[in-house]
Chain A
Amino acid sequence: MSAPAMGTSKTAPNDGSHKKKKGPGTLATAYLVIYNVVMTAGWLVIAVGLVRAYLTRGSYHGLYYSIEKPLKFFQTGALLEILHCAVGIVPSSVVLTGFQVLSRVFLTWAVTHSVREVQSEDSVLLFVVAWTITEIIRYSFYTFSLLNHLPYLIKWARYTFFIVLYPMGVTGELLTIYAALPYVQKTGLYSVTLPNKYNFSFDYYTFLILTMVSYIPLFPQLYFHMLRQRKKVLGHMEEYTKVE
């Protein structure tokens, strides 16, 4: 459940109100700025890679292969964000961030990487594009927020693009998992059967189906949460001018 990542931190309007937010120390802020800049750059590389590959080949098919390595690198790098929450330099819930990042990493490695046959599916392109646009906006949002110079455009984009990108990403993810099912069943990928001396079994095929089912309760909750956040953050448009 991961398409455009949710806004768990920095959702309160930082509009120069009287409450002075106690942020991370100077060193931590510098580190976070570097981290977010690097991530923005990384996802821009992926975006550029996708566009170039499309222009060169002239078709949508198989674009995954052209950005496979940076996608894996930067999406996996997001695991650091869990650490940031655990250490306290980012005021988000470890559990929520962990859940989001791990679901992305799961899709990248345990589905797309592991089941070669789905890599040429168009559904992969669907979620990769959704993730790319979301992450570019999200990481630039964090960068500018940390520097206390957040352009309204970025804030608006962050809280508006998800309306389309989130369902788009979820659709891509679900279709990809669905496409992987027959191959997982045929090869018994990541599955353990009885009997064995540890008396344990795991059916990856069933696990994937359960994962797909879990989107049903989770996606609406996350989506409506983002919609509520949007109203809260952008709803003050009439009251303030666009100067941050």
Chain B
Amino acid sequence: MKQVEILDTETKEQLCFLDKVEPHSTISDIKGLFHKSYPRRYPARQALTLHPQGNLLKDDEVLQNLPGGTTAKLYFRDLGPQLGWTMVFLSEYVGPLLIYLLFYFRVPYIYTPKYTFTSSPHPVVSLACACHSFHYIKRLVETIFVHRFSHGTLPLRTMLRNCVYYWGFSAWLAYYINHPLYTPPSYGERQIKYALFIFMLCEAGNFSIHYSLNSLLGEGPKCRRFPHPSKNPFTWLFFFVSCPNYTYEVGVWVSFSIMTQCVPVALFTLLGFVQMTIWAKGKHKAYTREFKDYPALRMPILPFIP
């Protein structure tokens, strides 16, 4: 039987002393015990370390493997309110979906009163609304049924920042697309049709990748494999990139920009591309570091571009 002493990282005062802890308990168990003494500090917001400046101890670390004698000394830091990933994604996606619709239906106080609840004479405006809504509904469905998240939670502050970004941008681009003075694309029907075709292809591609990533993690965390192309042609992008889901996502937004011929949409696409490239590069680096047999042809997000 071991004992665990938990101290505050900043003040170094003892917050909690756990008696009679099983040596094969995990950090997760200890967090649970700490939670009993501090009901407000649920496990997800606890950061436990061996030293005040040390690395976060993982939840599956076993107590007896940690250094220290009969009494283990751990340092606690509060990570702040945390939200489950599902909750985060739902709020990030429901916002843009609904906000866009407010603009599409020209709810009062957005445009001049004579346009309230009117509809645009341009078919592309309705098509754009359908595409935008489809995109976020698909994401919501994926969040609920498909996506398997690796980390547990996200800090509240980050989620608020993300929401401001997604909601704000969708309001901004919806404002222009549904504006009474909206100008349809310069090359007319042809431009819209081609853009729509690419849009649908990329959405199908993006979904295929999410589905295949999901079946990859389905075998449990112990089995570490990297994704491979399958019989589905959309997954053949895996021959060329590590994160084809991001590639397809960029494709979706590029085609939407062309379909609507709207600068704010193009700006959103650009920012999204920059952010996803950063994520893709990180993932790519992690893959190449972990797997010695990782295909050399694969690039992070764009084929042949390192």
How many angstroms between the C-alpha atoms of A200 and B175 in the bound complex?
Answer: 10
Interface size class for chain B?
10 to 19
* Pairwise interchain contact A197-B261, C-beta atoms closer than 8 A: yes
Q: Report A174-217 residues with CB < 8 Å from chain B CB.
A: 194-201
Nearest residue in B to A201 (C-beta to C-beta)? Answer: B176
How many angstroms between the C-alpha atoms of A199 and B178 in the bound complex?
Answer: 10
* Pairwise interchain contact B264-A200, C-beta atoms closer than 8 A: yes
* Pairwise interchain contact B260-A199, C-beta atoms closer than 8 A: yes
* Pairwise interchain contact B186-A199, C-beta atoms closer than 8 A: no
Chain A residues lying within 8 Å of B260, measured Cβ to Cβ, are 199
How many angstroms between the C-alpha atoms of A195 and B180 in the bound complex?
Answer: 9
Q: Report A224-240 residues with CB < 8 Å from chain B CB.
A: none
B126 to nearest A CB, angstroms?
16
A8 to nearest B CB, angstroms?
23
* Pairwise interchain contact B181-A200, C-beta atoms closer than 8 A: no
How many angstroms between the C-alpha atoms of A194 and B176 in the bound complex?
Answer: 9
- Which of A194, A199, A200 has the largest count of B CB atoms less than 10 A from its CB? A199
* Pairwise interchain contact B263-A194, C-beta atoms closer than 8 A: no
Q: Is the interface of A mostly helix, strand, loop or mixed?
A: loop
* Pairwise interchain contact B263-A200, C-beta atoms closer than 8 A: yes
Chain B residues lying within 8 Å of A201, measured Cβ to Cβ, are 176
B236 on the A face (CB < 8 A): no
* Pairwise interchain contact B179-A197, C-beta atoms closer than 8 A: no
B40 to nearest A CB, angstroms?
30
How many angstroms between the C-alpha atoms of A133 and B176 in the bound complex?
Answer: 46
B182 on the A face (CB < 8 A): yes
Nearest residue in B to A197 (C-beta to C-beta)? Answer: B183
How many angstroms between the C-alpha atoms of A197 and B182 in the bound complex?
Answer: 8
Chain A residues lying within 8 Å of B261, measured Cβ to Cβ, are 197-199
Annotate A159-180 by CB proximity to B: 1 below 8 A, 0 otherwise.
0000000000000000000000
* Pairwise interchain contact B262-A195, C-beta atoms closer than 8 A: no
Annotate B156-188 by CB proximity to A: 1 below 8 A, 0 otherwise.
000000000000000000001101011100100
Chain A residues lying within 8 Å of B186, measured Cβ to Cβ, are 197
* Pairwise interchain contact B264-A194, C-beta atoms closer than 8 A: no
B131 to nearest A CB, angstroms?
16
* Pairwise interchain contact B262-A194, C-beta atoms closer than 8 A: no
How many angstroms between the C-alpha atoms of A194 and B261 in the bound complex?
Answer: 14
Chain B residues lying within 8 Å of A200, measured Cβ to Cβ, are 176, 262-264
Chain B residues lying within 8 Å of A196, measured Cβ to Cβ, are 183
Chain B residues lying within 8 Å of A197, measured Cβ to Cβ, are 183, 186, 261
How many angstroms between the C-alpha atoms of A194 and B182 in the bound complex?
Answer: 8
Annotate B173-214 by CB proximity to A: 1 below 8 A, 0 otherwise.
000110101110010000000000000000000000000000
A201 to nearest B CB, angstroms?
8
A98 to nearest B CB, angstroms?
16
* Pairwise interchain contact B263-A195, C-beta atoms closer than 8 A: no
Q: Report B248-279 residues with CB < 8 Å from chain A CB.
A: 260-264
Annotate B69-102 by CB proximity to A: 1 below 8 A, 0 otherwise.
0000000000000000000000000000000000
* Pairwise interchain contact B176-A195, C-beta atoms closer than 8 A: no
B8 to nearest A CB, angstroms?
24
How many angstroms between the C-alpha atoms of A201 and B264 in the bound complex?
Answer: 9
* Pairwise interchain contact A195-B264, C-beta atoms closer than 8 A: no
How many angstroms between the C-alpha atoms of A196 and B185 in the bound complex?
Answer: 11
* Pairwise interchain contact B263-A198, C-beta atoms closer than 8 A: yes
Q: Given A199-B261, A199-B263, 12 more contacts at CB 8 Å?
A: A194-B181, A194-B182, A195-B181, A195-B182, A196-B183, A197-B261, A199-B176, A199-B179, A199-B182, A199-B264, A200-B262, A200-B263
5 residue pairs of the A-B complex, CB under 8 angstroms, read: A198-B263, A199-B177, A200-B176, A200-B264, A201-B176
The 6 closest A-B pairs by CB, nearest first: A200-B263, A195-B181, A194-B181, A199-B262, A199-B176, A198-B263
A-side residues, CB < 8 A to B, are 194-201
B-side residues, CB < 8 A to A, are 176-177, 179, 181-183, 186, 260-264
